């Protein structure tokens, strides 16, 4: 526990002794308008920041008590329902804004507490875990502001707080810059694709259109009986759509593996590295490239491109940018699915293979750079976590 061995001059104080904690108001969604006072909802409070990609506004002249719930710049906001314990500082760009229900406002009222010091302390993983433990409810967690008022935090002298803030702010800024660079890097490949091949949806460069079945070998997947233990925990990679994310690219290993007997018991087919996997149901549109031999369950249709006409990287990025189109190909009453016959008939622009290879070379180089950057991001995040751990035990500033 933090309070067990505090440095000289440090004290433990309840949050409620140093800050005013406010609950939000149940603003009615039917009264939302296009402009006015922004309503800060629980979805806006993410880990360490306030985001608002889908802003909602309330009439500034509403008869409801908006002024009572209006927020100030750098108020700390915390989620009280669902993913409890997320804390962010509201910035000036979001104002004027009002606090919605199930979001708490922690407004520092004591001159002895630096609000940025409190922000960093409440963004520790340990605090979020404490919030989760304090919350009630099974289906959905709900925490109380009464508990928050009684929660104790370390309070060093104000100059010490400011030194700690200075160090943590600098480390956090480095972490955010690395994340921003990662996001920019993700946009480079789609931009290059459009520059080299044109819009994948409209084919403005007039490349010859070909069906997928003309461009390589199509594979379907299957699942061995889950009742037969001898079919599972073998050495054959067997991929399911649940293993793919929006960031998936080349996959080399599956979460579950099947045995040779399991493979022979079903209609799954092993395909070679370089094969492009497309999830065709639950959900439609997840894409990856096999980095080694593997097979899949029935949620995929896969194509091993003919290297003389189609490169795996080109096909991957074309499919990835055609998600909306792929959704329209799904059929079925219970759930949407792209059938094998329809998958084979998908038409795709087929640019000159040399141009595709140039694109693939760029993608490979950028991927190596991205992998290096990802390691750096992980190291920076780990460093920041270490600094957080030390800061509030008096080990960072003497």
Q: What is the mean pLDDT of residues 26-35?
A: 94
d(CA 340, CA 327) in angstroms, rounded, equals: 15
Q: How confident is the model at residue 352 (pLDDT cuts 50, 70, 90)?
A: very high
> Does the structure show a pLDDT above 80 at 163?
yes
Q: What is the mean pLDDT of residues 142-168?
A: 94
State the virtual CA torsion across 287, 293, 295, 296 in degrees, nearest 10.
Answer: -20
Q: Return the pLDDT at 4.
A: 62
Could you tell me the strand order of the sheet in which 37-40 lies? Answer: 57-58, 37-40, 97-99
Identify the DSSP state of 208.
P
Of 289, 295, 252, the residue nearest 274 (C-alpha):
289
Q: Which residues contact 26 (CB under 8 A, 6 or more apart)?
A: 100, 101
The three-state secondary structure class of 258 is: strand
Q: How does pLDDT run across 35-93, given as a tens digit for each residue?
A: 999 999 999 999 999 999 899 999 999 988 899 999 999 899 999 999 999 999 999 99
Q: Superfamily for 209-350? A: DNA methylase specificity domains (3.90.220.20)
Q: How does pLDDT run across 268-279, given as a tens digit for each residue?
A: 999 999 999 999
- Its CATH architecture, for the domain 7-155, is Alpha-Beta Complex (3.90)
Identify the DSSP state of 307.
T
Beta bridge partners of 348: 210
Q: Could you tell me which residue, 183 or 200, shows the higher pLDDT?
A: 200
> Does the structure show a pLDDT above 70 at 130?
yes
Give how far Cα 274 sits from Cα of 122, 327, 345, 371, Å.
46, 24, 21, 19
Q: How does pLDDT run across 192-230, given as a tens digit for each residue?
A: 999 999 999 999 999 999 999 999 999 999 999 999 999
Give how far Cα 168 sits from Cα of 2, 23, 161, 180, Å.
18, 28, 11, 18
> Does the structure show a pLDDT above 70 at 181?
yes
The whole-chain average pLDDT of the chain stands at 92
Reported as half-sphere exposure (CB side, CA atoms, 13 A), residue 343 has a value of 23
Q: What backbone phi and psi angles, to 5 degrees, belong to 227? A: -80, -15
> Does the structure show a pLDDT above 70 at 398?
no
Of 335, 319, 318, 336, the residue nearest 327 (C-alpha):
336
Give how far Cα 128 sits from Cα of 113, 268, 375, Å.
20, 44, 25
**For the stretch 259-296, what's the b/e string if a residue is b when 16 or more beta carbons lie within 10 angstroms of its beta carbon?**
beebbebbebeebeebbbbbbbbebbbbbbbbeeebbb
d(CA 268, CA 286) in angstroms, rounded, equals: 19
> Does the structure show a pLDDT above 70 at 3?
no
**For the stretch 113-149, what's the b/e string if a residue is b when 16 or more beta carbons lie within 10 angstroms of its beta carbon?**
bbbbbbbbbbbbeebbebbeebbeeeeebebebeebb
Radius of gyration of the chain (CA): 27
Of 53, 19, 22, the residue nearest 38 (C-alpha):
53
Q: What backbone phi and psi angles, to 5 degrees, belong to 295? A: -135, 175
Q: Which residues contact 290 (CB under 8 A, 6 or more apart)?
A: 250, 251, 271, 272, 273, 274, 275, 276, 277, 302
Q: Which residues contact 41 (CB under 8 A, 6 or more apart)?
A: 56, 100, 103
Of 208, 216, 172, 185, the residue nearest 311 (C-alpha):
216
Helices (H) and strands (E) in the chain, counts: 10, 21
CB 391 within 8 A of CB 166: no
Q: What is the mean pLDDT of residues 7-19?
A: 93
Q: How confident is the model at residue 264 (pLDDT cuts 50, 70, 90)?
A: very high
Q: Return the pLDDT at 59.
A: 94
Q: Return the pLDDT at 318.
A: 97
Beta bridge partners of 303: 218, 276
d(CA 298, CA 280) in angstroms, rounded, equals: 9
> Does the structure show a pLDDT above 80 at 1?
no
Helices 115-122 and 158-197: crossing angle in degrees, nearest 10, is 60
């Amino acid at each position: 526990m933090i309070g067990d061995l505090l440095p000289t001059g440090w004290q433990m104080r309840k949050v409620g002794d140093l800050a005013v904690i406010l609950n939000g108001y149940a603003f009615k969604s039917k009264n939302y308008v296009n402009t006015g006072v922004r309503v800060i909802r629980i979805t806006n409070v993410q880990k360490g920041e306030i985001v608002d990609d889908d802003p909602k506004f309330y009439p500034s002249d509403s008869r409801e008590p908006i002024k009572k719930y209006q927020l100030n710049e750098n108020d700390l906001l915390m989620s009280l329902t669902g993913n409890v314990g997320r804390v962010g500082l509201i910035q000036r760009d979001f104002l004027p804004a009002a606090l919605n229900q199930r979001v708490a406002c922690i407004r520092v009222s004591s001159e002895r507490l630096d609000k940025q010091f409190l922000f960093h302390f409440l963004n520790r993983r340990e605090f979020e875990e404490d919030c989760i433990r304090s919350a009630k409810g099974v289906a959905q967690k709900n925490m109380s502001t009464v508990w928050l008022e009684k929660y104790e935090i370390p309070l060093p002298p104000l100059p010490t707080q400011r030194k700690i803030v200075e160090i943590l702010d600098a480390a956090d800024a480095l972490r955010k810059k690395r994340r921003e660079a990662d996001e920019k890097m993700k946009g480079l490949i789609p931009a290059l694709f459009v520059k080299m091949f044109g819009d994948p949806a409209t084919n403005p460069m007039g490349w010859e259109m070909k069906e997928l079945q003309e461009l390589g070998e199509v594979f379907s997947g299957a699942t061995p009986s889950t009742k037969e233990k001898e079919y599972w925990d073998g050495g054959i990679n067997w991929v399911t759509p649940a293993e793919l994310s929006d960031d998936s690219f080349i996959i080399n290993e599956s979460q579950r593996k099947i045995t040779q007997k399991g493979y022979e018991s079903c209609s799954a087919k092993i395909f070679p590295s370089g094969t492009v996997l497309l999830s065709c149901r639950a959900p439609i549109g997840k894409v990856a490239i096999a980095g080694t031999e593997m097979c899949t369950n029935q949620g995929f249709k896969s194509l091993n491109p003919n290297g003389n006409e189609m490169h795996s990287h080109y096909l991957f990025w074309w499919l990835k940018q055609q998600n909306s189109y792929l959704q329209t190909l799904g059929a079925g009453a219970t759930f949407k699915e792209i059938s094998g016959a329809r998958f084979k008939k998908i038409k795709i622009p087929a640019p000159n293979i040399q141009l595709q290879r140039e694109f693939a070379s760029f993608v490979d180089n950028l991927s190596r750079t991205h992998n290096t950057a990802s390691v750096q991001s992980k190291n920076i995040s780990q460093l920041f976590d270490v600094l957080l751990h030390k800061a509030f035990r008096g080990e960072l500033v003497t």
